[in-house]
Structure 1
Amino acid sequence: MSATERAIGLPLPDGAVITVGTFDGVHRGHHDVLTTLVRHARARGVPSVVITFDPHPLEVVNPAVAPLLLTLRDEKLALFAEAGVSYVAVLPFTATLAAFEAERFVDEVLLGRFAMRELLVGHDHGFGRGRMGDIDVLRTLGQSRDFQVVVLPPVHTADGSAISSTAIRQALAAGELERAALGLGRPYSISGEVVRGDQRGRTIGYPTLNLAPLSERKLLPPDGVYAVRVQLPEGAYGGMLNLGPRPTVGDLVRRIETHVFDAGADWYGARIRLDFVARLRGTRPFAGLDALKSQLAEDERQARALLATAEPTAALS
């Protein structure tokens, strides 16, 4: 069964194998947890359950340091589905939940509502008030309440760096798309609905798809022009994306506009995904539309060349 968001409390007569976390980015380290979760659940003949939170816990307990997100709620759910988990439960993270002691969270939520038989966690996991529910506490609770605790080691990149959501955010903020993709196990992406723009691109031979404004909680790489893969409902296409203002025409609003290569249709209202492959250049003004058109032609040449050698990514289902 594909991952589906459900109400708290599931019909789990035989129990479940569970993992708990924010899973921002659903990166390679998270994927290792999810793969093991599904395998252990199948071996036991019970469902696999991911329990995650919305909003991000730091938005409640310490908003001043809450990070921008690699994956919004719907993006996370889609990635959980791809991992093959049975169920996803999204718990509203509130001040009340934040105050739960680890023991209470285990007893009332994991055991009381989800009939947990086995808990999979990362090596640095902690939950409950003040993250006091560390590995030692969980193992003690497991012994007294008859559930197994499986602790998974960190996953590292080829250079030995531990993969983490924080490290991936730092890479994206610096425009280091390749480093971010190594941690994620896929290109960084944004998703949204195609809306009608001012159609200015059509007048210079580069019509664009315009995305509706994204959540202010979504992390974006630096403004600039990027080679992207455009995941449309009917398949994947290459393209180039302008993220930011359009200073040549005096438009200082930050926009997300994508010119799709070798495709043309009315996609208004469609939900699409844009996978960032490479940064071509920064945003800058040009002397006029002719200079802009000349630069766009060079951007297209570079983007096509980069996309021809880049590994393809999956289209929207």
Structure 2
Amino acid sequence: MKKSLSLYRTLPRYDSAQPSAVTIGNFDGVHRGHQAILERVRKLAADRGLAPTVMTFEPHPRAYFARRGQRPELIPTQISSLRDKLTSLVEHGACQIALMRFNQHLADMSAQDFIEKLLVQGLNTRWLLVGEDFRYGHKRSGDIDLLRSEGRRHGFEVDTITDVVDAHGHRVSSSELRTALAVGQLAHAAHLLGHRYRISGHVVHGQKLGRDIGFPTLNIHTPQQCALRSGIYVVRAHGLGPDPLPGVASLGVRPTVTQAGRLMLEVHLLDCQVDAYGKLATIEFLEYLRDEEKFPDLPTLIAAIEHDAQCARDYFAFHGL
């Protein structure tokens, strides 16, 4: 059954006065720690007849301040695209998402206004779940104590959540997930996510070079600050047919064939042809094979692709699809 979602880019909501159970965060990756938070919101909302709600931000506040301060090296890498993040939030129980544009206006908003305009007037909040170190408002001036005192005044309850840990007692965090992806540790990333890492996007037209050299590819735009290490991967493609399709993928800037420098995911499906242009595909990353390389000429590139495709076939022959 398809879950319904109300997505709000401005508050107050234009179509609802229903009281809400709210959590606030960036939720990049929607990993197991986030999933535990969302499950608490979902259960309490169901018990109290509230709308389970996530307030999140685009871009990431750290990215906004890094760009404003001309410090691009401080921009955090992006685990999931906005589409993938919203999809995961809905899968884990959110039925309302307040997607707030993080800009100068929001950065300058006082802590008091954040509470009154966004939480009270904006979402009719009755219950709020945030981390113990949650800060908000101009220069991060708002804290939990202010939330609690304003909650008593406006009729909402504030709960905090401590760090979520895995079965071994290790904290599950977006920063640890970014580190795992940065070095191509797909098994550890899958442990933190609760599923294999994946990227989805519409298949777009590329330069057609792959077709010319006998390796047609599906081209998918990715976040330009994608957290996953550039390189060659064994993958499965979902959404292009009734069953997942085996493939080999390159995530990178294609240094042998272009100087453009735009990050692109190129997927070559093994031994099958599909008309995929315009379709929404989800690419699931199974195994890291090697780094992206700049080859001296096309014959060397073709030989490398043939070797990568054989490695992928060997993977599927051993593991199955």
TM-score past 0.5 threshold: yes
> How far 1:245 moved relative to its partner?
5.5
| 2:251 maps to 1:243 | yes
- The answer to whether the 8 A contact 2:270-2:309 is kept is no
> How far 1:40 moved relative to its partner?
0.9
Which residue of 1 is the match for residue 6 of structure 2?
A: 4
User: Counterparts of 1:300 and 1:52 in 2: how far apart (Å)?
Assistant: 38
Q: Give secondary structure in 1 for the equivalent of 2:122.
A: coil
- The answer to whether the 8 A contact 2:248-2:309 is kept is no
Q: Give secondary structure in 2 for the equivalent of 1:238.
A: strand
User: Counterparts of 1:292 and 1:202 in 2: how far apart (Å)?
Assistant: 16
Which residue of 2 is the match for residue 230 of structure 1?
A: 237
- The answer to whether the 8 A contact 2:234-2:286 is kept is yes
User: Counterparts of 2:318 and 2:171 in 1: how far apart (Å)?
Assistant: 28
| 2:150 maps to 1:131 | no
For 1:267-286, what per-residue CA distance to the aligned partner results, in whole angstroms no more than 9, with x for missing partners?
A: 11112121212101223448
Aligned CA-pair RMSD: 2.6
> How far 1:202 moved relative to its partner?
4.2
Q: Which residues of 2 match residues 13-162 of structure 1 at below 5 A?
A: 13-63=17-67, 64=71, 65-162=74-171
> How far 1:75 moved relative to its partner?
1.8
- The answer to whether the 8 A contact 1:5-1:77 is kept is no
User: Counterparts of 2:136 and 2:186 in 1: how far apart (Å)?
Assistant: 31
Q: Which amino acid is 2:307 matched to?
A: Q
Tell me which of 143, 168, 171 is aligned to 2:180.
171
Q: Which amino acid is 2:146 matched to?
A: V
Percent identity at matched positions?
33
Q: Which residues of 2 match residues 170-209 of structure 1 at below 5 A?
A: 170-202=179-211, 205-209=214-218
Of stretches 290-299 and 44-53 in structure 1, the one that deviates more from structure 2 is 290-299
For 1:222-262, what per-residue CA distance to the aligned partner results, in whole angstroms no more than 9, with x for missing partners?
A: 23210112122434222211223666x65566542212235
Which residue of 2 is the match for residue 313 of structure 1?
A: none
Which residue of 2 is the match for residue 308 of structure 1?
A: 320
> How far 1:130 moved relative to its partner?
2.8
- The answer to whether the 8 A contact 1:4-1:77 is kept is no
Q: Which amino acid is 2:4 matched to?
A: S
- The answer to whether the 8 A contact 2:79-2:228 is kept is no
Distance 1:92 1:199, change over 3 A: closer
Q: Give secondary structure in 2 for the equivalent of 1:266.
A: coil
> How far 1:203 moved relative to its partner?
5.5
Q: Which amino acid is 2:7 matched to?
A: E
- The answer to whether the 8 A contact 2:222-2:265 is kept is no
- The answer to whether the 8 A contact 1:54-1:91 is kept is yes
- The answer to whether the 8 A contact 2:198-2:283 is kept is yes
User: Counterparts of 2:305 and 2:79 in 1: how far apart (Å)?
Assistant: 33
Structure 1, unmatched stretches of 5+, are 310-317
> How far 1:77 moved relative to its partner?
1.3
Structure 2, unmatched stretches of 5+, are none
Q: Which amino acid is 2:92 matched to?
A: A
Question: What TM-score does the superposition give when structure 1 sets the normalisation length?
Answer: 0.85
Tell me which of 228, 236, 249 is aligned to 1:221.
228
> How far 1:159 moved relative to its partner?
3.7
Question: What TM-score does the superposition give when structure 2 sets the normalisation length?
Answer: 0.84
